[in-house]
């Protein structure tokens, strides 16, 4: 009896079981404190707020643009490049 060659081990790796999903809480990013400059009893906003999302949602400052991670709004800084 000819032995059958062993089937090549499939390169598939069993997907790792995901950690249990925690219920999501509506929470402001803990990083927003960076976007305020507290002086005395006043808070000064250091970042532009997203015009779409409104108050409390700050735009990420990139090299050449501001970007809202929440809604995807992007505002280009300086002159617009038309390619
Ligand atoms: Zn937004």
**14-44 confidence digits (pLDDT tens):** 777 777 777 877 777 777 778 888 889 988 8
C-alpha 68 – ligand 1 centre gap (Å): 5
Q: What is the pLDDT of residue 6?
A: 67
- Whole-Å CA distances, 51 to 21, 54, 67: 32, 5, 11
C-alpha 9 – ligand 1 centre gap (Å): 48
User: Is it the case that residue 55 has pLDDT exceeding 90?
Assistant: no
User: Is it the case that residue 47 has pLDDT exceeding 90?
Assistant: no
| Contact criterion met (CB below 8 Å) for 35 and 61 | no
The neighbourhood of ligand 1, an ion, using CB within 5 A, equals 50, 52-53, 68, 70-71, 73
| Global pTM value | 0.53
Over the stretch 64-79, which tens digit does the pLDDT of each residue have? 999 999 999 999 988 7
């Amino acid at each position: 009896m000819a032995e059958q060659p062993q089937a090549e081990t499939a390169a598939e790796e069993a997907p790792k079981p995901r950690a249990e999903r925690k219920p999501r809480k509506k929470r402001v990013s803990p990083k927003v404190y960076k976007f305020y400059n507290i002086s005395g009893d006043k808070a000064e906003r250091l970042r532009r707020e997203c015009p779409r999302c409104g108050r409390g949602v700050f735009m990420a400052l990139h090299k050449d643009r501001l970007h809202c991670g929440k809604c995807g709004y992007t505002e280009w800084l300086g002159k617009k490049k038309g390619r």
